[in-house]
Amino acid sequence: MTIQNLALFDLDNTLLAGDSDYNWSLFLIEEGLLDAKTHHDRNEQFYVDYKNGCLDIYAFLKFQLQPLSQHPKTFLDKLHLKYMEKVIRPMMTDKAQALVDAHKAKGDLCLVITATNSFVTKPIATAYGIEHLIGTDPEMVNGEYTGGVSGVPSFQAGKVTRLNQWLTERGKQLKDFPISYFYSDSHNDLPLMQLVTNPVAVDADPTLTEYANAHQWPHISLRD
């Protein structure tokens, strides 16, 4: 039986040289689909709260997912194609792709795990060649988005909950993997980073950098 290791990747400011959630809102404003005056300042404040570790995830999701409910999914899917080409692909780095490819070449089970909603992030994970994604799931009814959230948001300790659920569905536990990696830039991911065998800080924020240094975790950059 082949022994497989697990490679977990945060997305925003880790595999991406930027934040797909924050920039999605800016993109919708540029496309004339959100009012800049009412939306921009709140988007900025939520982003500051996230970086400071005090984000109210449910308030943020109510804000961030509501625009999905205003348009048919077919329209949103076409819009996302434009978002990928205009905004996301310039954030994808050769170093990030090389890291993913190296893990895949070793046969590791690769998974993107992100707090950003899965509508925004699934095509990005796919573009990196990663089949599996855990993101915060927008609620859908009859094939359309309601603006609500389904299940546990994959944020902070919620990433641990969602990963355990995902592994259980596959008859596995984290301890079944001899080596488990988690690459992240954010101190918000410490609950999961503390559980894997090989946590790696990536272009990390000051809080995570301090923690990583104190615990002798490696610190790398994926920026080109």
What are the tens digits of pLDDT across the range 80-132? 999 999 999 999 999 999 999 999 999 999 999 999 999 999 999 999 999 99
Catalytic pick among 10, 21, 185, 203: 10
- Where are the domains positioned within the chain? 6-220
For residue range 140-190, list pLDDT tens digits in order: 999 999 999 999 999 999 999 999 999 999 999 999 999 999 999 999 999
Say what the pLDDT of residue 1 is: 58
Active-site entry in 12, 19, 189, 203? 12
Concerning whether 10 is annotated as a catalytic residue, the answer is yes
Tokens 């949103």 correspond to 76
Beta-strand pair 109-117/180-184: unpaired
Is residue 12 among the annotated active site residues? yes
Q: Rounded distance, CA 139 to CA 34, Å?
A: 20
Say what the pTM is.
Answer: 0.95
Indicate whether 10 pLDDT > 80.
Answer: yes
How many Cα atoms are found within 13 Å in the side-chain-facing hemisphere of 12?
Answer: 24
Superfamily of the domain at 6-220:
HAD superfamily/HAD-like (3.40.50.1000)
Q: What is the pLDDT averaged over residues 19-41?
A: 91
Residue 127 near residue 119, CB atoms below 8 Å: no
Task: Find all residues with CB under 8 Å of 46, minimum gap 6, and list them.
Answer: 55, 59, 60, 63, 64
Per-residue pLDDT, 123: 98
Q: What is the pLDDT of residue 103?
A: 98
* pLDDT for residue 2 is more than 80: no
Q: Residue 55: which pLDDT band, with cuts at 50, 70 and 90?
A: confident
- DSSP state, 92? B
Q: 4, exposed or middle or buried, with CB in 10 Å at 0-12, 13-18, 19+? A: middle
